[in-house]
Amino acid sequence: MGDIRLRVLHVGPKNYPPNHGGVEKIVYDLVTGMPEVENHIFTEWEPQIDCPRVMALPKGLFHQLRTVHAYAIKESIDIIHVHKETFIPLGLLLKLFGHRCVVTIHGCAWRLARWPFYKRMILFVFDCLACCLLDRTVFVGEHDWRLFKRIIPFRKLCLIRNGVHIRGEPRAPKEDGMIYLGRISPEKNIVGLIKAAETAKVKLDLYGSFDRRDTKFSEIVRQIIQNSHYVQWKGPVAFNAVPETLSRYPVFINASFSEGLPTSVLEATAKGLYLVLSDIPQHRLLRMPDCMYVSPHQIDLTGIPRDHERLGLANREYVEQEFSASKMIEGYFKLYKDLS
C-alpha cells in the first residue's frame, strides 16, 4: 500500500475495541488493517480499555466541535473520518474550519418509519449536504449509493462495501434453530422476529446489546422473551467471539426493515451459514446464493428448506470473492491517499 504515513481521526464508533455493532467492527478493521496510517479515535462511549489515541467524545455539538478541532490541530491530523449520519453536522462544521473530512454513511436512518417525518427529512437533508460539501462521501450499501448518485450527479460519491475476514473452518452446528446477532433495536424488527419464531415453533437465539436510547423498547422485548417458549436472549458477544458463536448454528436470520450493508450478515456467510433475510433492496443487492427472503412485515419461517444444514457453503465462497476485508481496506486507503 505504500510508505505514506497518514494521520486519520475516526469520529463516531460507540466503542473501541468493538463489542456492539457493525460500524464499530468496520472501524476496528480499518485501524488494525492499515499499518501505514496512524489512527486516532473519538468514541461515543467512555473507553472500557486503555488504548492509545482512543478518547470519548464530549456531549453537545459545539463542545464536540471545539474538542475535535483542537485535537486535530494539535496532532496534525490529515483527514477526519466521520462515521454515521448523526455526526454529519459535526463533519460539516469541521469542514468549515478547514479540515479535510470524509463521511461514511453506514445506512440511511431517514428510511426508518420509527422516526417522526420531520426528523427523517432533517437526516435526508444532512445526507445531501454531506454529498455536496464534504471532501468524500462513502456509502457502504449499493442501494443508497445509487439513489444519491441520481440526486447529486455532479459530485463524486464512493461505494466501498463492508468486508469481513475469512478465517478458520466453516460452521459445525452444535445448536438447533437459528441465530440473530446484532443490535436489539426497533429497526431490526426484533419483536416481529420473535413472534414469527413462536408461530413457526422454531428455536431462535438472540445475541447483541439492547438499544440504550430506547429503554421502553428494551423492556417490551425482555417481557416478550420471558413469555416465549422458543426464543432466548443470550447477551452481547465480544467481537473476537463472533465467528465461534456463529459457527455453532446452521441458519442466520436478519429481518430488519432497512440496512446499509449489514456486517453481521457478512460474518455469518463467512462461516457458511444459510441465510434468512428480509426482502428489502439492501439485502437483495447482496446476491447471496444460499438465501431465503421473507417479508419484514409478515415474517413466514415455514419455508426454510429442510436440507438447510447442507446449504450455506456457497455463501462462504461468494463472500470471500466479493466482500473481503482486504478489498474494503484497500478502498479506504486509496481514498485517504487521494485526499492527502
**Which domains does the chain possess?**
6-163+324-339 (3.40.50.2000), 178-322 (3.40.50.2000)
Q: What is the pLDDT of residue 309?
A: 62
Q: Find the angle CA(270)-CA(179)-CA(311) to the nearest 5 degrees.
A: 50
Output the DSSP codes for 283-317.
HHTT--SSEEEEBTTB---TTS-TTGGG--HHHHH
Cell of 67: 474538542
Phi, psi of 61 (to 5 degrees): -60, -50
Contact by Cβ (8 Å): 110, 133 = no
CA pair distance 265, 300, nearest whole angstrom: 19
pLDDT digits (tens, 9 = 90+) for 187-197: 899 999 999 99
How far separated are the first and last CA of the chain, in Å rounded?
14
pLDDT digits (tens, 9 = 90+) for 207-220: 998 877 788 999 99
Kindly indicate the confidence band of residue 1, based on its pLDDT and cuts at 50, 70 and 90: very low
Q: What is the pLDDT of residue 2?
A: 46
Interaxial angle between packed helices 88-96 and 61-74, expressed in degrees from 0 to 180 and rounded to the nearest 10: 50
Q: What is the pLDDT of residue 316?
A: 92
Kindly indicate the confidence band of residue 112, based on its pLDDT and cuts at 50, 70 and 90: confident
pLDDT digits (tens, 9 = 90+) for 276-304: 999 999 999 999 999 999 999 999 998 88
Is the whole model's pTM more than 0.85, yes or no? yes
Which is more confident, 256 or 49?
A: 256
CA pair distance 326, 141, nearest whole angstrom: 17
